[in-house]
Amino acid sequence: MKLPFQNTYARLPADFFQRTPPTPVASPSLIALNHDLARELRIDPDFLRSEQGLAILSGNETPEGAEPLAMAYSGHQFGGFSPVLGDGRALLLGEIAGKDLQLKGCGRTPFSRRGDGRSALGPVLREYLVSEAMHALGVPTTRALAAVASGEQVHREEAEPGGILTRCASSHLRIGTVQFFAARQDHAKLRTLVEYAKKRHYPDLKNALDLLRKVTQKQAQLIAQWMGLGFIHGVMNTDNMTLSGETIDYGPCAFMDRYDPAQKFSFIDQQGRYAYQNQPYIAQWNLSRLAEALLPLIDENQERAVQLAQDELAQFPELYEAARLKIFSKKIGLPSNSNWDLIQSLLDLMTQQKADFTLVFRSLSQDPSSLLNHFQEDTPALQNWLTRWHAAAPPDRALMDRSNPAFIPRNHRIESVIEAAKNENYAPFHELHQILRQPYQEQPEFQHYQDSPAPDEIVCATFCGT
């Protein structure tokens, strides 16, 4: 079978990327294949399961029509600017049905610096599970088409089995991609990039300012969705934020169990820069970097360009707060013009009592009388909250069920899936994946997957795996 690759990115000027073939691996085996996504892309899943399919998904064979390349980009990492990052362990094969297909963990590229270009199997399975869970939860995200065990070891803290993820995205254009040309003051290529981004994502937009506005809107919506699920991305560097508004790069990401606005998991984020409560501020900070990069295209008069860009950026807090209010109103089953104070009071009670974010909201929709089970003690403040909630309006239970997941990819579950996978036992991976396909459905036989971790199961830190 010939895969119907288009290669629009490969047609861009040479300094947008470096052409590199994937590096073959010793003895690949397929762990997971996303049949639904394959069909959406109009690829026959049976072909991907075949020997040749596996060779393609492991980087052992470059499919006919693909033009593997590592994309160039810059990025602010934890606030510091790196002018040249680029795909150091990923290759774009091309586009199929308008979507990028990328192999991640497929060997060194000209952007690898000191890295090995590989990925451990753990992070591959984590990204597969979490990105597919996000999709099922209704969050814009890159997706996982396949996970392969490479049959080789990678060396991190210790030797670990290696893996390769096939990722699918509306595109892999990042804020960092725009920064790459801005940093070189290459305004012609900057313009080419903006035209390309508009054509792929927002064909109705006219100019760079429109693009800034659109990305600001998309990111405000996206971050509000993350906040509504207790999702912490963990590495919100500008190279990990897309122009499409899809969540990308599931490194040390995690869903929080107990509600704590200051929660962070990433081991490398010692300062908590990317903690839960900071995510909207960081998004706005990243968008400011995008605005800066776009300035030369916004107006010839740079003073005017700055003013126009600032006006767009100034919209972010309002857009974010409106999106957040809508999302949390649904979570408590009230009309979207409800009162943030009511929601904030509940969140404050959850913080004080270290209540589980997901279980509290789910119990509100399923059985409000069980709400107290998720708090350490019944307090007048809690009763007062319930009274206020009941007085506000009759809650829309069906809406709440659709807005409060029963199942999220909890850290301790992911960790045990990864531990089992290290011993080539993939059954826990498949079970968790299956449950997360319908996160808003009660699944009585898997009830225990809703539970928060026991004290000895709590995961305190997550790692990029790079």
Strand 90-96 and strand 143-155: pairing?
A: unpaired
- Rounded least distance, CB 191 to ligand AMP, Å: 24
Segment near Mg ion (CB under 5 A), from 237-245, 260-268, 390-398, 434-442? 237-245
Cβ proximity to Mg ion: between 247 and 329 the closer is 247
- Rounded least distance, CB 174 to ligand AMP, Å: 9
> Quick check: 247 binds Mg ion (CB under 5 A)?
no
- Rounded least distance, CB 213 to Mg ion, Å: 25
Which entry of Mg ion, ligand AMP, none binds 280, CB below 5 to 8 A by partner kind?
A: none
Using an 8 Å Cβ cutoff, are 109 and 20 in contact? yes
65 Rama sector, left if φ>0, alpha if ψ -120 to 50, beta otherwise:
left
Which entry of ligand AMP, Mg ion, none binds 178, CB below 5 to 8 A by partner kind?
A: none
How far is Cα 460 from Cα 254, in angstroms, rounded to an integer? 10
How many Cβ atoms are within 10 Å of 188's Cβ, its own excluded? 9
Contacts with ligand AMP by CB under 6 A lie at 85-89, 111-112, 115-118, 235, 239-240, 249, 251, 464, 466
Q: Which of 281, 296, 205, 279 is nearest to 243 (CA)?
A: 205
Cβ proximity to ligand AMP: between 3 and 253 the closer is 253
Residues 6+ away with beta carbon under 8 Å from 152: 25, 26, 118, 161, 162
- Rounded least distance, CB 194 to ligand AMP, Å: 22
- Rounded least distance, CB 77 to ligand AMP, Å: 7
Show the 3-state SS of 53-118: HHHHHCCCCCCCCCCCEEECCCEEECCEEECCCCCCCEEEEEEECCEEEEEECECCCCCCCCCCCE
Cβ proximity to ligand AMP: between 168 and 464 the closer is 464
Cβ proximity to ligand AMP: between 118 and 273 the closer is 118
Task: Out of 127, 249, 257, 269, name the contact with Mg ion by CB under 5 A.
Answer: 249
How far is Cα 158 from Cα 173, in angstroms, rounded to an integer? 33
401 is catalytic: no
Cβ proximity to ligand AMP: between 106 and 229 the closer is 106
- Choose, from 100, 239, 257, 269, the residue flagged as catalytic: 239
Q: How far is CA 125 from CA 119, 121, 144, 162, in A?
A: 10, 6, 10, 11
Which entry of Mg ion, ligand AMP, none binds 251, CB below 5 to 8 A by partner kind?
A: ligand AMP
Q: Which residues bind Mg ion (CB under 5 A)?
A: 240, 249
Q: Where in the sequence numbering do the catalytic residues fall?
A: 239
